[in-house]
Amino acid sequence: MAELTYREAVARGIAQEMARDDNVVFLGEDVAKAGGVFKATDGLLEQFGPKRVLDTPISEQAILGAAMGAAMTGLRPIAEIMFADFIAVCYDYIANEFPKTRYMTNGQVTLPLVVRCGNGGGARFGAQHSQSIENWCMQFPGLKVVAPSSPLDVIGLLAAAVRDPNPVVFLEHKSLYSTKGEVPDGEIVDMLGTARTLRAGTDATLLALGMMVPRTLQAAEILHTEHGINCEVIDVRSLVPLDTQCMLGSIARTGRVFTVEENPRQLGWGAEIASIIADEAFYDLDGPVIRITAPNIPLPAADALEDLTIPSVSRIADTIRRALAA
Amino acid sequence: MAVPQRPSLDGAPAEPTADSERIPLAKRLEIYRSMVLMRQAEQRANDLFLQNLVKGTSHLSLGQEAIAAAAAAAMRPGDLSFCTYRGHAHTLARGVPVEKVLGELMGRDNGLMRGKGGSMHLTSVEHGVMGSYAIVGAHLPIACGAAWRAQYKGASDVSVCFFGDGTTNIGAFHEALNFAACMKLPVVFVCENNLYMEYTPIAEVIPVEHPAADRASAYGLERIVIDGNDADVVYETLSHAYARARNGDGPSLIEAMTYRYSGHSRADPAKYRPAGELERWKERDPLNIYRRRLEGSGVKAAALDAIESDVRTIVDAATKACQNAPFTSTDVLFTDVYADGGCAWRN
């Protein structure tokens, strides 16, 4: 057992898979010599050499296109798109190429590839380097989308993503890179499509993702100690595939559900889950599904503004307390 | 820019630059047969479209056959083709049966992808046809990735990427050329300059004469413009480019001048073309040029007629088989969204 940062877990996860399989290669901007702009891939070049760890030009289409061509001919590439916002400049691959090629070719083409991105806000980078872009990716049948919230999950889900025969978008949260967690020694492999219950409770189910997971856990502690409200907290982890059963099972016990989302309100991931709950768990509910999200505005840069925009521990706790008191 | 009666070859001699006699006769006959097959299969596809038996759209290569036929004839088994939505000819060139192609266009169960892709996405991995890409430029970086795998694995296959003149103005073209040149990848980019990007003359939207070749120097590549209606020129040029790629000498960018006889797609009657332009280009029809040259090399007209009638028999039989084939089974609707064969996105 060792305590690792989320950032160190990224490098360990990639290294674990590269050491296991020569077909795993890694490319991106500043990922090799510089060790990544978030220092999450430090040491990989030294360990695996320049044939397997590639610094690319600032060419996001070339990065994702090359990953696709390599994947369809037998490699298992990991491609880094530095800030998740940059997915927008290579969106053709996310929207048109990766998810549709297997289907259109009637299964002739397999694309085992992973796109890693630094996702999310909280670092004062402003509106084009801070977005939570899960919903940009989860709308395309054929793509998988995961977002780990702890160092352990980074390694386990990254390993699962690399071994998965489908294209996977792997969203690391850039404000979690410095957070720490216990990680056992040896190989770690998790399962895509599984949510995880991090805190058991009886009064409400809280669904959170990425950086919202630690904030939601803190909010649940406050609700418990200060208000006697006992919340169950589920880390959604995998948006596609979605572990609906885990969530519906919890809601059947608690009767209330809150989603905690960093993204702007419109069409956030919680909207899809709320719709599933409305269809399949309506009669389990004792009150409306409530989505706690960023307001529908671009993310501002200044401390005071960004802190107001992204759901905070106190906003999460207050919203839940008021809703349950009503 | 005046549209040339002959392709602009920048000082190249008016007569073919390839030494046709150096190409084995069997190979030349293979190229001729391949061109005849493309011509007849695409004319048939067009007829079927007019009968409402092919739906959606189709983008024909009529007039451009020399490039597809000769480029494929110069390949080795295992080399990989990356095509555009104008991909029927390139798919047939690698040996994919006509029936599979027409079946796909007609939405039949015998189609290459059982109707899940359609005209613009013809793919046959077993023949090295790694896809037809309908988003302009998308496949240039993808071809780079396949070439990167070959380089990484020490494999000797070449990735060959075909695209039109319009593609040279999209970002992915430039990203791919830079990436390929920096990494010295075994990839060959073939620009089929048919003078029109969709409905607009390419000359109106580029600041240089040759949309691909005049950009080559920006990536440290040689400027190569060839007569794309002369299959022997295409064959020799690409043979050289493939050899360079296999030898570790990196990518090539080749601009092959040609002309499409029909509009951009089924929806385009091509009324924007100046009067007489089509007729002038038809005087340089790639099949006629090649047939005359083969006859000049001593091949009997009867032997060439036999190739044509043999191909006619194949295309007729394929058409009949497709017309008799059932429409695609709806069983495939929910298959192969994910690699487990299904489409489950939740439990």
* A28-77 tens-digit pLDDT: 999 999 999 999 999 999 999 999 999 999 999 999 999 999 999 999 99
Q: The tokens of B10 are what?
A: 């920048």
Partners of residue A166 in chain B, C-beta under 8 Å: 338-339
- Give the count of beta carbons closer than 10 Å to the beta carbon of residue A49: 10
Q: By three-state DSSP, how is residue A172 classified?
A: strand
Contact A105 B116 (CB under 8 A): yes
Q: Supply the angle between the helices B139-153 and B171-183 in degrees, to the nearest 10.
A: 10
Partners of residue A68 in chain B, C-beta under 8 Å: 141-142, 145
In DSSP notation, A103-156 reads HHTTT------EEEEEE--SSS--TTSS---HHHHTTSTT-EEE---SHHHHHH
The pLDDT of residue B6: 41
Contact B145 A70 (CB under 8 A): yes
CA nearest to A202, candidates A223, A182, A186: A223
Same domain membership, residue A222 and residue A168 = no
Residue A191 within a domain: no
User: DSSP code of B274?
Assistant: P
Could you tell me which chain A residue has the CA closest to the CA of B159? A69
CA nearest to B293, candidates B198, B208, B221, B227: B227
Contact A96 B341 (CB under 8 A): no
Residue A190 within a domain: no
Same domain membership, residue A72 and residue A144 = yes
Same domain membership, residue A246 and residue A161 = no
The pLDDT of residue B14: 45
Burial of A227 from C-beta contacts in 10 A (0-12 / 13-18 / 19+): middle
Residue found by looking up tokens 């369809």 in the block: A72
Residue A61 within a domain: yes
Partners of residue A67 in chain B, C-beta under 8 Å: 145
Q: The tokens of A150 are what?
A: 């702890």
* Count of the separate structural domains present in chain A: 2
- Full domain range(s) for residue A278: 196-325
Which residues, in sequence order, are CB contacts of B76 under 8 Å at separation 6+? B156, B157, B158, B242
Same domain membership, residue A144 and residue A22 = yes
Contact A105 B347 (CB under 8 A): no
Whether the predicted pLDDT of A262 surpasses 90? yes
CA nearest to A52, candidates A84, A82, A19: A19
CA nearest to B126, candidates A109, A198, A96: A109
Q: By three-state DSSP, how is residue B143 classified?
A: helix
Q: Residue A206 in contact with residue A234, Cβ under 8 Å?
A: yes
**CATH class of residue range B24-214+232-313:** alpha beta
Whether the predicted pLDDT of A192 surpasses 70? yes
The pLDDT of residue A326: 82
Could you tell me which chain A residue has the CA closest to the CA of B136? A92
Residues in chain A: 326
Phi, psi of B225, deg, nearest 5: -125, 130
Contact A70 B148 (CB under 8 A): yes
Residues B137-168, buried b or exposed e (16+ Cβ, 10 A)?
Answer: bbbbbbbbbbbbbbbbeebebbbbbbbbbbbb
Q: The tokens of A72 are what?
A: 């369809």
Mutate to test the interface with A, among B91, B135, B328, B347 (most CBs of A within 10 A): B347
Note if A224 is an active site residue: no
Q: The tokens of A4 are what?
A: 């690792």
Q: By three-state DSSP, how is residue A175 classified?
A: coil
CA distance A244 to chain B (A): 6
Could you tell me which chain A residue has the CA closest to the CA of B133? A97
The pLDDT of residue B10: 43
The pLDDT of residue B11: 41
A126 touches chain B (CB under 8 A): no
Same domain membership, residue A253 and residue A105 = no
Same domain membership, residue A271 and residue A228 = yes
Partners of residue B176 in chain A, C-beta under 8 Å: 61-62, 65
Could you tell me which chain A residue has the CA closest to the CA of B148? A70
Distance CA B142, CA A229 (A): 53
Q: Are strands A180-183 and A2-5 parallel, antiparallel or unpaired?
A: antiparallel
CA angle centred on B72, ends B66 and B78, rounded to 5°: 175
Partners of residue B139 in chain A, C-beta under 8 Å: 65
ipTM above 0.95, yes or no: yes
Distance CA B203, CA B7 (A): 13
Which residues, in sequence order, are CB contacts of B258 under 8 Å at separation 6+? B7, B63, B64, B66, B67, B192, B193, B194, B228, B229, B286
Same domain membership, residue A164 and residue A17 = yes
The pLDDT of residue B294: 97
Contact A59 B178 (CB under 8 A): yes
Q: Are strands A196-199 and A180-183 parallel, antiparallel or unpaired?
A: unpaired
Same domain membership, residue A262 and residue A148 = no
Residue A69 within a domain: yes
The pLDDT of residue B2: 35
Same domain membership, residue A55 and residue A110 = yes
Same domain membership, residue A116 and residue A160 = yes
Distance CA A167, CA B331 (A): 24
Residue A188 within a domain: no
CA distance B254 to chain A (A): 20
Distance CA A140, CA A161 (A): 17
Q: What confidence tens digit (pLDDT) does each residue in A201-225 have?
A: 999 999 999 999 999 999 999 999 9
Distance CA B314, CA A177 (A): 62
Cβ pairs A/B, distance under 8 A: 158
Domain ranges within chain B, ordered by starting residue: 24-214+232-313
Distance CA B296, CA B290 (A): 10
Mutate to test the interface with A, among B79, B80, B149, B332 (most CBs of A within 10 A): B149
What is the mean predicted confidence (pLDDT) over A3-27? 98
The pLDDT of residue B17: 63
Q: The tokens of B333 are what?
A: 């609707």
* CB-closest option in B178, B182, B345 to A141: B345
Partners of residue A110 in chain B, C-beta under 8 Å: 339
> Where does chain A show beta strands of DSSP type E?
2-5, 24-28, 53-55, 76-83, 114-119, 144-146, 168-173, 180-183, 196-199, 204-208, 231-235, 238-240, 257-264, 290-294
Q: By three-state DSSP, how is residue A28 classified?
A: strand
CA angle centred on B224, ends B219 and B229, rounded to 5°: 140
Percentages helix, strand, coil for chain A (3-state, rounded to 5) are: 40, 20, 40
Mean pLDDT of chain A: 98
Burial of B227 from C-beta contacts in 10 A (0-12 / 13-18 / 19+): buried
Last residue of a domain, one of A157, A183, A209: A183
Residues 286-305 (A) with a CB less than 8 A from some CB of B: none
Contact A68 B142 (CB under 8 A): yes
Last residue of a domain, one of A149, A183, A217: A183
Q: What is the residue-level pLDDT of chain B in tens, covering all 347 positions?
A: 333 334 444 444 444 468 888 999 999 999 999 999 999 999 999 999 999 999 988 899 999 999 999 999 999 999 999 999 999 999 999 999 999 999 999 999 999 999 999 999 999 999 999 999 999 999 999 999 999 999 999 999 999 999 999 999 999 999 999 999 999 999 999 999 999 999 999 999 999 999 999 999 999 999 999 999 999 999 999 999 999 999 999 999 999 999 999 988 888 889 999 999 999 999 999 999 999 999 999 999 999 999 999 999 999 999 999 999 999 999 999 999 999 999 999 99
Residues 137-166 (A) with a CB less than 8 A from some CB of B: 141-142, 144, 164-166
CATH number of the domain encompassing residue A209: 3.40.50.920
Distance CA B118, CA B109 (A): 12
Residue A57 Cα distances to A77, A92, A128, B54, B339, angstroms? 17, 18, 20, 43, 31
A59 touches chain B (CB under 8 A): yes
Residue found by looking up tokens 């040896």 in the block: A186
CA distance A235 to chain B (A): 16
Q: What confidence tens digit (pLDDT) does each residue in A78-99 have?
A: 999 999 999 999 999 999 999 9
Which residues, in sequence order, are CB contacts of B77 under 8 Å at separation 6+? B128
CA angle centred on A137, ends B346 and A150, rounded to 5°: 75
Partners of residue A92 in chain B, C-beta under 8 Å: 135, 138, 172
Same domain membership, residue A309 and residue A211 = yes
Which residues, in sequence order, are CB contacts of A125 under 8 Å at separation 6+? A83, A301
Ramachandran area for residue B312 (φ above 0: left; ψ -120 to 50: alpha; else beta): alpha
CA distance B96 to chain A (A): 14
Q: Are strands A231-235 and A204-208 parallel, antiparallel or unpaired?
A: parallel
- Give the count of beta carbons closer than 10 Å to the beta carbon of residue B314: 16
Residue A18 within a domain: yes
Same domain membership, residue A236 and residue A94 = no
Which residues, in sequence order, are CB contacts of A142 under 8 Å at separation 6+? A98, A99, A100, A101, A102, A103, A166, A167, B337, B338
> Where does B105-258 show beta strands of DSSP type E?
129-133, 159-164, 187-193, 196-197, 200-201, 225-227, 252-257
Partners of residue A107 in chain B, C-beta under 8 Å: 335-336, 341
Residue A42 Cα distances to A8, A35, A56, B52, angstroms? 8, 4, 16, 59
CATH number of the domain encompassing residue A26: 3.40.50.970
pTM score, two decimals? 0.96
